[in-house]
Homo-oligomer: A and B are copies of this chain.
Amino acid sequence: MEDLYPSRQNNKPEILKRKDPVIHTDRSKDNQAPISKEQLDSYERNGFLQIENFFSSQEVTDMQNGIFELQDSSRDVTSEKVIREPQSEEIRSIFHVHNDDNYFQKVANDQRLLDIVNHLLGSDVYIHQSRINYKPEFSGKEFDWHSDFETWHVEDGMPRMRGVSLSIALSDNYTFNGPLMLIPGSHNYYVSCAGETPDDNYKGSLQKQKLGVPDHDSLRWLADQGGGISVPTGKAGSITLFESNTMHGSSGNITPYSRNNLFMVYNSVENALVRPYSGGKERPEFIAVREGAATLSGIR
C-alpha cells in the first residue's frame, strides 16, 4: 500500500501537508452532529476540542474508583501492559483497559462519546488503543512532543489520519500539574522524522520516546504557525478530543496534585491497520488492536 506519510526513512526531517480531512463527515451535515457548529469549527481549525463537565460527578467518582482499584490490583503484576516510571516502580500507565476490564469496556462504548466520534470520523469506529495514565504528584515525568499518528503509522500501519484520541480528565487539570499541551493547527502538517525504527522499539518508548521525535526546528515552526501552545485545563469529568496527528506533550509534575486520565483512541473501521510502514514487525495487540478491532455499538 502506498505510504502517504513516510517517516524515519531519511536522516533529515521534513514537513509534509496533511492529505486527509479533519472532520470526515461532510460539513453540510453539521446539523446532524451531536456538538455545535462552533465546536466542529474549533476542532477542525485547532485539531482539538475541550468539553467541560462532560461526565457527571457520580460518573467521575466511579471512574476514579475504577482507576485506583486497577492500580492497586496491578501493583505486583509483571505485565507488558503495566508501565512504570523510568526511575521508580510507580505505575505510569495501564494499557488495554477497554478490553480487559468490564467497567472500562462500558465507558469505551458510551453512546454519548460514540455519537461525537462517529461524526468526526464519518464511520463506525473501534478502539485502537486504550490506557489509564497516572501522573503522580511530585514525580510525574514529562512526555516529549509527538504526533501519535506518526507512531501509529510507522510502527502500527495505520494508513490515514482518521483517528481521534479522547482524554477523560479524572483529576482536576491545572496549568501547573503537567497538563496536556497541544500545538493548535499542528494536525495540518506531518513532521516526517529522521531515523529508523528498530524492532521492539515500544518497550522503551512507552517510558520515554526516542524515535519519531520531531526535531526542534519543526516544533518551533509549528508553534509559530499555530500561534503558540494551548493548555486546556478543567475539572475532572471534562474531556479533550484531539486529532490523531495533533502535536502534543506534557511537562513533568512536581506539584502535590496528581494528574490522571483515561485515554482511548477511536479509529475508523475504514482505516484498519495494515503492515507497519517501517517494514518491521507488528507491535503487540495491547498497544495496537488488530484481532480485537470490533465495531463499537454503543451503550446508553
Binding site for B on A (CB under 8 A): 137-138, 142, 144-145, 174-176, 178, 181, 216, 219-220, 223, 228-229, 231, 249, 251-257
Contacts and interface: CB of A to CB of B under 8 A. Distances in A.
A100 B252 CA distance: 35
Contacts of A251: 176, 178, 251-254
A231 B233 CA distance: 14
B223 A176 contact: no
Contacts of A137: 216, 220
Given A174-B229, A229-B176, A231-B175, A138 B254 contact: no
A254 B220 CA distance: 11
Chain A interface, >50% SS class: loop
Contacts of A257: 223, 229
Contacts of A229: 174, 176, 255, 257
A231 B231 CA distance: 14
Contact of A231 (B145, B176, B178, B254): B176
Given A175-B176, A176-B181, A178-B251, A256 B142 contact: no
Given A175-B176, A229-B174, A255 B181 contact: yes
A218 to B, nearest CB: 10
A23 to B, nearest CB: 27
B175 A256 contact: no
